[in-house]
Amino acid sequence: MLLFTLRRVLFGIVLFVIVSFTTMWLLSFSFDSIIGSKLGAAANVDSIAAMKADLGLDRPVPVLYVEWLNNLVHGDLGSSFFTGQPVIEALPSRLAVTLSIVGPALIISAIVAIVLGTLAATRGGAVDKAAQGLMLTGYLIPNLLIAIVLVVVFAVNLQWLPATGYTPLSEDPGKWLQSITLPVIAMAFGGAANMANQVRGTMIDELRKDYIRTLRTRGVPMRAIIIRHALRNAAGPALTVFGLTFITLFGAALFIEQVFALPGFGTYSFNVALQGDFPVLMGLTAWGVGLTIGVNLLIDVANGWLNPKARQY
Amino acid sequence: MNTPLLEAKGLKVAYPVKGFRKPPVEIVHGVDFTIRRGETLGIVGESGSGKTTIGRAILGLAPISGGTLTYDGHDLASMNAQQRRKLSREIQVVFQDPYSSLNPSLTIGATLAEPLIVQGWDKAKATRRVLDLLDRVGLPKNAAQRLPREFSGGQRQRVAIARALAPGPRLIVCDEPVSALDLSTQATVMDLFIEIQRETGVAYLFVSHDLAVVRHISHRVGVVYAGDIVEQGRTGDVTVTPQHPYTQRLLLAAPIADPGLQAQRRTERRELRAAQEHLSATEASSASRPDAA
Amino acid sequence: MATEITSDVVTSALPASAEENEVRRNAFQRLLRDPQAVITGSIILVFIVLGLLANVIPAHGPNEVVLSATNAPPGTEGYPLGADATGRDILSRLLHSINTAMVAGIIGAGIALIIGMTLGLIGGYFDRFRTPVEWGATIIQTFPGLLLLIVLMPLTGGDYRWTMAIFGVLLTPGIYRIVRNQTVGVSRELYVDAARVSGVTDFRILGRHILSVVRGPVIVATTFLFGSAIGTQAGLAFLGVGSKEIPSFGSMISDGFRNLYIAPSQYIWPAVALGVLNGAFVLFGNALRDTFEGARPKAEKIEATAVVEGFAADDVADSGQLVQVRDLGIAYRSPGGHLNEVVRGVDLEIRMGETLGLVGESGSGKTQTAFGVLGVLPAEAIVTRGSVRLEGRELLGMSQADLNRLRGSSIAYIPQEPMANLDPVYTVGRQLVEGIMASTQVSKAAAKERALELLGRVGIPDPARTFGAYPHEISGGMAQRVLIAGAIAPKPKLLIADEPTTALDVTVQADILDLLRDLQAEMGMGIILVTHNFGVVADICDRLAVMQQGEIVESGTTVEVFANPQHSYTKMLLNSILDEETIRTDPPMAAAGAREGAR
């Protein structure tokens, strides 16, 4: 199990290097225009070349990358071209905002999905039909639209909750809860629909398997069979979808933050990208890729723990 | 004329293992056998023994890792894909599972014509040949326009036999072709195999786990155990008076469909097992003595 | 030998029924009969047509600013849906947005389709490319999706077509995985092997045998991706990625949203259009999936076997037998709704200490009968008539709780496929302990002790090691012994074994049959053994019952039936057995003229 985990971690590091390098390489094509926008009116071929040499961006991408990676290992992501603020300081507070809506949304989606999916798969009939209807609705409506409807109904018309803005948890837990309620609901809708459908499908497959019948013939009550065996076996595939949903929600948060004017990762990255602030963009990439890989790693390890067969590899 | 149609000498099959620098797993550990023209060689063994792998090696579907496999003077092991393809009209196959061995979305006619068309037959000629083949295996002519799902297991196996016969092969590898069939169908399909052999002089490598089936169709039999052929010879000898302990066990383990005879066989099996256990126990103890070597 | 029955066996299943014709209708025709597909497909078509007429219907260009029209309400002359905060025609922008959305969908889904399909076919079919292609897909999947689209804005300049092209690449793993899994599955099919043996080239195999299977799921997935690309483009435009000149649902929603307090209706038009279009694609994809892949599995509540309405167990006199089955009928509902009986009036009796062989070919209803007695028929099955009594107690129509109590103490079951009947995620020991505790209310420690004792009893050499092993760590023969241990744990009176040795090698089969015989002698239980193998029947059964098409055609003691079969079907079956004496004796025919003979 330890070896398995170690191999996964190593694999994750290799992936991180490949993906972050590719991103830097892609961005290197637009160095000229980035510097052009930094120089503004003073931009011409000579001044751009001079500035490029100044910032060290005239060197080959592999050299730049090794330097960036080396700094990263030492906890330095460089400073913003525009504000001079160290990148490493700029990101965590924004990430906290994003995670404080993505995290709860993911947990709520997972709980709803497991309950709804299991109910649909084990009850059948009308319960199944109703659950499937709910899931379909979640699919049908883009969460951007759900967010807007929520703002219009609960914030603008009913004025129950704030439409925009964010209060950190450390400042006022009550207000924090109010500020994340609508965004979380908007995101959980689609996430739950996606996962519930998966849970339902896997549970139906699982309940049709031969070992379920054998357990029934041993006099094990159906409730125990569903919870202890079917759900436990369905957990593996469900976990994979759980990981994918996290990444999807992280992406969806970019829109949702905009609707609710939350000062999160998405809003920040959008502004940074408009300016072409290269060090900050690379910092964002590092965080984004790191989170994706980290979540996948956790899922893999959890899967190895859930499934005795997977541990062998 | 006396040269065998197919000859294997020290044939080994090994599959590469996924993962960095892991040695390949050897399934067949160097087997020798020959198949003469018009003859059936039965290969009998249990699951995982490598009997199916031997057949797949002959068909070019499993990697040969050692030894030679000579077909009519050509070494199959050293052939590239193109040379192999030329031989495809000579060596054909009938698989075990009649459900997975026919493409569900192609009509029977299209399935049967495919080997002919890749050999360069023109369409009209191929169509005539397909109708002949259907007739030969006892299926009606209108079967050509139908899809596999309209046929029972036994009928599908007849289609698979027709497909194997299409290019006029000299050797057909039969991989458990009757194991998935019901008892009554099994008997008729076996008879079809024998009839066709008598008519066309095609040779069979007949792989099966069932001693009774192999006994019924083979001129000679090889017994595979854990990747080796432990015993081979004429059918009457190997399946009635086996010499190797494993073949003896195999023979006595198969129940006879007769209550009286089976009770007798059960007793014999228990005696044999007791004797073999005793033998291996004494061997083990003598091997552990330092002076035994 | 049974050569004479050849012809009627061959022709019997041939006449095509109306149902088969139904199946043969091609996918497109079936799609046209599905209202969901027709409605959603029409909605998509209407959108496409409206988009194509974007320069014809409205009176104004999408970026034409008329200050006097600022925030014009719907219905204003020349502005049927009104105008936005900068005085642009909402209808015109809306129709042009459709084109933007469609182009976004075509680029995103198209790129994902082309790259994903190619990689999937290569990675799935050619073993040597599988690992590198898989790596490629994993790398693409690691890019942080939408964040990357934003980070790369300096590169794309926010042009939505470039953004969608990158998005398409990011979507490729989805298509790739579907194609690869399907391809791997199909390449393992024996018909692909048969084509290879026939000298068919890899290219032709991919085109003829594999593409036809992959096609359906890929069309379905592409439809969903199309919707997803439209949604993402709208989302990015909402954020403000991209040119302000390009009309898009996203930028229109964003404009309208900012103008919410002044002209609350402005954001509704694009939002509704986006919602309807997106929904149409999802529902159309769902309909496509049902057409191509068949309806998805229906959820069914698992409970005691359903009995037909107004069912009353036959009132039979208790004959003192262990099990008495009278006139049992089991049916399944056809798609048309009427009941098809697969077991039709079966009578059986078993005494304590007796083994009854239930023999028949595939589809004869022998397993259904056994499941009927056990009360574990699939949820779709319905008992139509009859009575099943265990020591005089009626089992049909019994409540789930009562059945559970009975199963834990009196009836036990041994399945056909030992591996599939153990839960892969728990150790063998835990599963045994669970069964023992469910039936006997003993402590965990006592249950463990009993499980170890049982493992030893069924001939497992090292019980403690097997107790701690996972199912995949033991052999099929061992797994069957474990299942037997589980079955005999409550010392049942009746043991139902469904083809218990069919999946095993003959040498293992002999040992398992010996074990069953010994256990019966020791515990005195009655056994119903379902099998197709007359050798097994001869070995272990006292009596046998022969089933054909849901009915028992003959029964009697084993010795009697083997010696003197009465029914023609039994005679035919016994005649089909390859007996010990038939050894092939004719010499191989001379090879000369072999080829001519084959032509």
Report whether pLDDT(B287) > 60: no
pLDDT digits (tens, 9 = 90+) for C40-81: 999 999 999 999 988 888 888 888 888 888 888 887 888 888
A29/C423 Cβ within 8 A: no
Q: Looking at chain B, how many residues does it have?
A: 293
Give the amino acid at C265.
S
Q: What is the mean pLDDT of chain B?
A: 88
pLDDT of residue C315: 66
Q: Which residues from C are below 8 Å from B218, CB to CB?
A: 584
Residue B38: strand, helix, or coil: coil
CA distance C501 to chain B (A): 12
CA distance C125 to chain B (A): 14
Mutate which of B183, B211, B216, B268 to disrupt the C interface (most C C-beta within 10 Å)? B183
What distance in Å separates the CA atoms of residue A190 and residue A249, rounded to the nearest whole number? 9
C301/A26 Cβ within 8 A: no
pLDDT of residue B288: 52
Which of C439, C471, C491 delimits the end of a domain?
C491
- Contact in structure between C236 and C179 (CB atoms under 8 Å): no
Q: Which residues from C are below 8 Å from A250, CB to CB?
A: 144-145, 147
With tokens 């709980």, the residue in question is A111
H helix runs in chain B, sequence order: 51-59, 81-87, 108-118, 123-136, 153-165, 183-200, 211-217, 235-240, 245-253, 259-288
* Whether A232 contacts chain C with CB within 8 A: yes
What distance in Å separates the CA atoms of residue A91 and residue A288, rounded to the nearest whole number? 11
Q: What is the CATH number of the domain that holds A186?
A: 1.10.3720.10
Return the structure tokens found at C90.
């909402």
* Residue C376: closest C-alpha in chain A: A213
Cα A172 vs. chain centroid, distance in angstroms?
25
pLDDT of residue A127: 86
- pLDDT band at C453, cuts 50/70/90? very high
pLDDT of residue C590: 53
pLDDT digits (tens, 9 = 90+) for A149-203: 888 888 878 888 777 777 777 788 888 888 888 889 988 988 898 889 889 989 9
Residue C530: strand, helix, or coil: strand
Q: What is the mean pLDDT of chain C?
A: 85
B259/C558 Cβ within 8 A: yes
B37/C594 Cβ within 8 A: yes
Mutate which of C226, C232, C423, C483 to disrupt the A interface (most A C-beta within 10 Å)? C423
Residues 6+ apart with CB under 8 A from C269: C81, C90, C94, C252, C256
- Binding-face residues of A in 102-161 toward C, CB within 8 A: 120-125, 128, 136, 139-142, 144-145, 148, 152, 156
Nearest-CB residue to A217 (from C261, C413, C470): C413
Q: What are phi and psi of B127, to 5 degrees?
A: -60, -45
- C174 in a structural domain: yes
pLDDT digits (tens, 9 = 90+) for B235-258: 989 988 999 999 999 999 989 889
- Contact in structure between A239 and A199 (CB atoms under 8 Å): no
- A48 in a structural domain: no
pLDDT of residue C570: 94
pLDDT of residue A312: 55
- Contact in structure between C199 and B88 (CB atoms under 8 Å): yes
C142/A123 Cβ within 8 A: no
- Binding-face residues of A in 55-94 toward C, CB within 8 A: none
Report whether pLDDT(B20) > 70: no
Q: How many domains does chain C have?
A: 2
Q: How many domains does chain A have?
A: 1
Higher per-residue pLDDT: A52 or B223? B223
Give the CA distances from residue C24 to residues B104, B152, C15, in Å, rounded to whole numbers and listed in that order: 12, 17, 14
What distance in Å separates the CA atoms of residue A305 and residue B29, rounded to the nearest whole number? 37
A270/C241 Cβ within 8 A: yes
Q: What is the CATH number of the domain that holds C234?
A: 1.10.3720.10
| Fold classified for B6-232 | Rossmann fold (3.40.50)
* Whether C176 contacts chain A with CB within 8 A: no
Question: How many CB atoms sit inside 10 A of residue B37's CB?
Answer: 22
Give percent above pLDDT 70 in chain C: 92
Chains that touch A (3 or more CB pairs under 8 A): C
Return the structure tokens found at A28.
């290197």
- A46 in a structural domain: no
* Residue C158: closest C-alpha in chain A: A274
- C67 in a structural domain: no
Higher per-residue pLDDT: B170 or C408? B170
pLDDT digits (tens, 9 = 90+) for C491-522: 899 999 999 998 888 889 999 999 999 999 99
- pLDDT band at B34, cuts 50/70/90? very high
As a whole number, mean pLDDT of residues C425-452 equals: 91
Q: Which residues from C are below 8 Å from A222, CB to CB?
A: 302-303, 400
Return the structure tokens found at C210.
């594999």
CA distance B136 to chain C (A): 11
Return the structure tokens found at B184.
């009554």
Nearest-CB residue to A218 (from C151, C408, C426): C408
- pLDDT band at B293, cuts 50/70/90? very low
* Whether C468 contacts chain A with CB within 8 A: no
Report whether pLDDT(C289) > 50: yes
* Boundaries of domain holding A234: 99-275
pLDDT of residue C318: 65
Say whether both C425 and C282 belong to one domain: no
Nearest to C97 by CA among C162, C45, C50: C50
Report whether pLDDT(B17) > 90: no
As a whole number, mean pLDDT of residues C322-327 equals: 90
C589/B269 Cβ within 8 A: no
Question: How many CB atoms sit inside 10 A of residue A63's CB?
Answer: 10
What distance in Å separates the CA atoms of residue A144 and residue C581, rounded to the nearest whole number? 78
Give percent above pLDDT 90 in chain B: 56
What distance in Å separates the CA atoms of residue B50 and residue B155, rounded to the nearest whole number? 28
Higher per-residue pLDDT: C202 or A172? C202
Give percent above pLDDT 70 in chain A: 98
Q: What are phi and psi of B228, to 5 degrees?
A: -125, 150
Report whether pLDDT(B291) > 80: no
In this prediction the ipTM stands at 0.88
The residues pairing with C83 across neighbouring beta strands, listed in sequence order, are: C89
What distance in Å separates the CA atoms of residue C431 and residue A214, rounded to the nearest whole number? 11
Residues 6+ apart with CB under 8 A from C108: C164, C165, C167, C168, C171, C225, C226, C228, C229, C232, C233
Determine if residue C499 is left, alpha or beta; phi over 0 gives left, psi from -120 to 50 gives alpha, anything else beta.
left
Q: Which residues from C are below 8 Å from B188, CB to CB?
A: 2-3, 5-6, 9
C588/B36 Cβ within 8 A: yes
What distance in Å separates the CA atoms of residue B104 and residue C294, rounded to the nearest whole number? 15
pLDDT digits (tens, 9 = 90+) for C95-134: 999 999 999 999 999 999 999 999 999 999 988 888 889 8
Mutate which of C248, C255, C302, C473 to disrupt the A interface (most A C-beta within 10 Å)? C302
Spell out the SS3 assignment of C111-176: HHHHHHHHHHHHHHHCHHHHHHHHHHHHHHHHCCHHHHHHHCHHHHCCCHHHHHHHHHHHHHHHHH
DSSP codes joined into one string, A62-131? HHHHHHHHHHHHTT---B-TTT--BHHHHHHHHHHHHHHHHHHHHHHHHHHHHHHHHHHHHHBHHHHHHH
Mutate which of A94, A217, A280, A281 to disrupt the C interface (most C C-beta within 10 Å)? A217
Say whether both C246 and C116 belong to one domain: yes
As a whole number, mean pLDDT of residues B163-181 equals: 92
What distance in Å separates the CA atoms of residue B136 and residue B278, rounded to the nearest whole number? 53
C194/B95 Cβ within 8 A: yes
Report whether pLDDT(C4) > 60: no
Give the amino acid at C372.
G
Give, rounded to a whole angstrom, the gap between the first and last alpha carbons of chain C. Answer: 28
Residue spans per domain, chain B: 6-232
C297/A205 Cβ within 8 A: yes
- Contact in structure between C209 and C193 (CB atoms under 8 Å): no
Q: What is the mean pLDDT of chain A?
A: 85
Pairing of strands C411-414, C393-394: unpaired
B289 sits in which H/E element: none
* Boundaries of domain holding C465: 411-491
pLDDT of residue C591: 45
**pTM above 0.90?**
no
Nearest to C497 by CA among B184, A217, B182: A217
B71 sits in which H/E element: strand B64-71
